Structure 1
Amino acid sequence: MKTLTIDAKDIHYTPLNQQIRKAVAEGVKEITLNNILGQRFIGDGLKGDDVTIIVNGVPGGDLAMFMSGPAIIVHGNADHAPGNTMDKGRVIIHGSAGDAVAHSMRGGRVYVRDNIGYRGGIHMKKYLEKRPILVVGGSARAFLGESMAGGLVIVLGLGDTKPIAEQGVGSGIHGGEIFVRGPVDPLCLGNGTKQAPVTEEERAMIRPIIEDFAKTFGIDAGPLLTADYTRIAAVSARPFASKYTLE
């Protein structure tokens, strides 16, 4: 297997990403990026189901945007919008991430071991067999799942913080579903949402995803699998229908 290690210290993101794309085009299957500090757009638009990028440091915004296939593993935190409009692949973040994680994501998986900022999962979409998945190990800030049109978000609330403690969860949602470990204060829900305890069928559906997340980060899956979960979804597939008039 062809591999490549790049020392990214003091390299601007444009030539860095040019090096990455060139390496993938030449058949490199594993790229290790050391000393990453804020470089944006890493992995954007890359294709290849057998390509892995290992990021040691803190990548900048829009990590893996439009990516279709590769895996990106971040040993550190990540800035805003990792997985933005991602089509396929995996983003594994061994830390926390900023706002708009999985923004408009179309497929693949984003796993964040710790916490995320505001508007995680905003505008996520599902198309045919492609169902984007975002799993957050810690907590999510306000407006989680805003305007979701499809996909799946799971928030596990590991550690001492509540998984959800702020307003606007699912605001404008009209597709997809959000699962939260434990109860959710109704005051945190956005307009047009409903919540209910998970059914056995829903529990069976999320089980392999939780097991995969736990295995990825070396977490004991047992307590997560037996815990109670709340499912949050849209009341209507057309939440804004009353805002328009037909003539």
Structure 2
Amino acid sequence: MKRIDAHNLKYAVLNELVRQAIAEGCKKIILDGVCGQYYIGCGVAKPVEIVINGVPGNDLGAFMEGPAIVVNEDAQDGIGNTMSSGEIIIHGNAGDVLGYSMRGGSIFVKGNVGYRACIHMKAYKEDISPTVVIGGCAGAFMGEYMAGGTLILLGLNRDKKRLTGNYLGTGMHGGAIFVRQGVDETLCSNEVILSKPDDKDMEKILANVKKFCSIFGYDCDKIAKDEFVKITPKSKRPYGNLYIPGP
């Protein structure tokens, strides 16, 4: 195990220390005093665990393949940008564009997320498919241009706050979004349809809710008894009418 004090370190210096620790064969790295440093875990392709005490900056875990990253506080924008595999756990809130172009692996967020969560998230057949579970609420454009994968929104801190922002699923053409306790249809884009999850969907939902609860200490039975709404695209080419037809 390697412990690194990140206080007053520039992001490039901190990331070089992390890379050195991984090259030395460390399986677990603890970063203390993180405050906005970018690109932590970016491009790492080793099965290493990185524990972050503090608030990491943008693009945490971007392009990563295999690591497990645990953030014990909030995190900023672009978490899991184009990640291929591995796991990111956020014990607080996350910023905008969570899981942007995410291709595999999983992200679990205890709290709220900002705008455009899971924009361009995608999957490869049934073999490689990302999963994102958000415990709180989300901002506008959640699931924008989503092409694959699974997004589960639990709204555990909903109270009187809107569960999502406007334009839910804009341009969505693949994957599925599952929302606990209903969806305000006026917030949804015209490109999606709402339905009831089938038995196979519920198996997937319950498996991920169970894992979420084991991570963050929630009562799985209490959450699982509530109804979920399934959001899927109407078409795989929602804007096909805007393209010039070929010869």
Post-superposition Cα deviations, 1:51-103, rounded to whole Å, max 9, x if no partner, equal: 10000000000000000000000010000010000010000000000000000
Note the 1:186-225 alignment, pairs <5 A. 186-225=185-224
Task: Give the deviation of 1:160 after TM superposition.
Answer: 3.6
1:124 corresponds to which residue? 121
The DSSP-based 3-state class of the residue aligned with 1:6 is strand
Note the 1:141-220 alignment, pairs <5 A. 141-161=139-159, 162=161, 164-220=163-219
Task: Give the deviation of 1:174 after TM superposition.
Answer: 0.3
- 2: CA distance, partners of 1:9 / 1:107: 32
Task: Give the deviation of 1:206 after TM superposition.
Answer: 1.5
1:138 corresponds to which residue? 136
2:65 corresponds to which residue? 68
1:14 corresponds to which residue? 12
Verify the 8 A CA contact 1:156 1:163 in the aligned structure 2: no
Q: Percent identity?
A: 42
- 2: CA distance, partners of 1:82 / 1:232: 23
Matched, 1:94 2:91: yes
Aligned CA distance change for structure 1 residues 165 and 107 (closer, same or farther; 3 Å): closer
Post-superposition Cα deviations, 1:139-194, rounded to whole Å, max 9, x if no partner, equal: 01110000001011000010244562421111000000100001111111012110
- 2: CA distance, partners of 1:29 / 1:180: 36
- 2: CA distance, partners of 1:182 / 1:217: 20
- 2: CA distance, partners of 1:156 / 1:234: 20
TM-score normalized by the length of structure 1? 0.96
- 2: CA distance, partners of 1:152 / 1:245: 31
Give the unaligned 5+ runs of structure 2: none
Note the 1:223-238 alignment, pairs <5 A. 223-238=222-237
1:36 corresponds to which residue? 34
Verify the 8 A CA contact 1:164 1:188 in the aligned structure 2: no
Task: Answer with 92-101 or 190-199: which moved more.
Answer: 190-199
2:43 corresponds to which residue? 45
- 2: CA distance, partners of 1:205 / 1:163: 25
The DSSP-based 3-state class of the residue aligned with 1:76 is coil
- 2: CA distance, partners of 1:36 / 1:144: 28
- 1: CA distance, partners of 2:201 / 2:175: 13
Give the unaligned 5+ runs of structure 1: none
TM-score normalized by the length of structure 2? 0.96
